[in-house]
Structures are given as C-alpha cells and as structure tokens.
C-alpha cells in the first residue's frame, strides 16, 4: 500500500519535515557525486552492528563509530529506497511536527531513529550487514502519527487484481496492516531489510509520541481535527 495523502489539516506550516527530506536528498546526491563505488560510501557512513557492539564492549566512552547512528539515517541504498522513505515522511511527518512542535519533532526523530537502530543491533549484534536508511525514524513517525491522529484516514494506492485502486483507509487499519507486514517479514527472516528497526521504531514512536508533546500546548490543541480534503 502506498500512501498518497491524509485527512488532518495542519495548523502551521512544517519546517523540520521538508528540511529532513532535503537533507536526505542532498546526502544521497553527495554519495552519487563523490563515491563511484557505493560500497565505499556505506562502509564510511553506514551502521555496522558488529562494529557498534565491539565499540560498546571495548569502552563506555564515545567512539567515532557511534557517529554512524546519525549518518546512516541519512544514507540510502538507491533511488527507490530514498523516494519511498521520503514519501512516507512527507505524508506523516508534517502532521506529527505540527502537533509536537518543530524542536520536539526534531529531537523525537533523531532519538527514535537511534533507538530503532539499537533494536536492530540487539537482535543481530554480530551482524556485519551495514544498515542504511531513514526507515527506523520514519517508522517511529508512523507510530506517533497513530497515537496523535487515531481517527484520521489515509488516501492509499492499493493494487487489487493487478489494477491500482485509490482507497480512503482509516489510519488504524493502514498502520495495523503495515505493522503486521513488518512483523511477518521479521519472523520469516526476509533478508536485506532491517525489519527489527522498523518494528522497534514503530513501538518507540508510540511511546515518544506521548512523551514529547510540548507540555505548554493547551489540551484543545491536542484534539483530533478532521478535514475533507487530501494533499
């Protein structure tokens, strides 16, 4: 299922969401321009679980390899990987940012993305498969979106009998289906994707979605508002 738009109307223009998207795109272009061999780029900027595990066991002090928690969040494995991640971030991120506020949303995004990577490392501490992509952080955004906009709906492109159909799907149904697919892929051991980071990020988003709502926002600002149009 591919999200095309959602129903909540923003009260303020987003800033952090397009800034994160721009950062991901620019970092991807940086890879294309300066690293003819993509594997060299991933070796420098990707997150290697085994290296993180060894660094943590060797010392409690900061290690240079810890930088890859951040750099890997802005690295992608190809155009489709980048575009699909940025589409999900654009659809769901701006509304979460609107509810949390710009500063809290940025902190939430970075903390949740780091937490999602840690979950994947805990599941496969000795793996040398390099992790790249914003999927963990975006999964957290989706978890927070479910907490903050449970009554919203998502305009979704769904393939039915090989024909694309656009349907308006309740957020709870969309997120439940997405989360179930992540669980099934993780359980079956489908390779090439950090499913644990997706699942962990989503669960972290559910929690931090509540914790990082600015306390000075009046309760009325937290009421779900529906609108009858889609972006």
Query: Domain limits of the chain?
Result: 2-222
**Start-to-end CA span in the chain (Å):** 17
CA atoms 95, 97, 99, 102: torsion sign: negative
- Architecture in CATH for domain 2-222: Up-down Bundle (1.20)
pTM of the predicted protein model: 0.88
**d(C-alpha 176, C-alpha 154), whole Å:** 13
E strand or H helix that includes residue 4: strand 2-6
Q: How much of the chain, in percent, has pLDDT values that exceed 70?
A: 89
**CB-based contact 54:127 (threshold 8 Å):** no
For 51, counting Cβ atoms within 10 Å of its Cβ (0-12 exposed, 13-18 middle, 19+ buried), the class is middle
Give the tens place of pLDDT for each residue, 153-206. 999 999 887 788 999 999 999 999 999 999 998 888 766 788 899 999 999 999
């Amino acid at each position: 299922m591919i999200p095309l738009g959602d129903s909540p109307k923003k009260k303020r223009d987003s800033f952090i969401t397009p800034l994160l998207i721009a950062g991901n795109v620019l970092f991807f272009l940086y890879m294309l321009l300066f690293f003819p061999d993509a594997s060299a780029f991933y070796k420098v900027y990707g997150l290697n679980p085994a290296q993180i595990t060894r660094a943590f066991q060797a010392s409690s002090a900061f290690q240079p390899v810890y930088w890859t928690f951040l750099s890997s969040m802005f690295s992608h494995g190809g155009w489709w990987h980048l575009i699909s991640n940025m589409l999900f971030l654009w659809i769901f991120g701006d509304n979460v940012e609107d509810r949390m506020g710009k500063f809290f949303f940025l902190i939430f995004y970075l903390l949740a993305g780091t937490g999602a990577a840690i979950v994947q490392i805990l599941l496969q501490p000795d793996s040398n498969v390099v992790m790249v992509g914003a999927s963990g952080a975006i999964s957290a955004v989706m978890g927070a979106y479910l907490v903050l906009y449970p009554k919203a709906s998502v305009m979704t492109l769904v393939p039915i009998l090989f024909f694309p159909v656009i349907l308006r799907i309740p957020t709870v149904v969309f997120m439940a289906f997405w989360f179930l697919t992540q669980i099934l892929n993780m359980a079956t051991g489908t390779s090439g994707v950090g499913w644990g980071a997706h699942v962990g990020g989503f669960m972290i988003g559910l929690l931090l979605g509540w914790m990082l709502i600015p306390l000075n926002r009046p309760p009325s600002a937290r009421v779900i508002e529906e609108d009858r149009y889609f972006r």
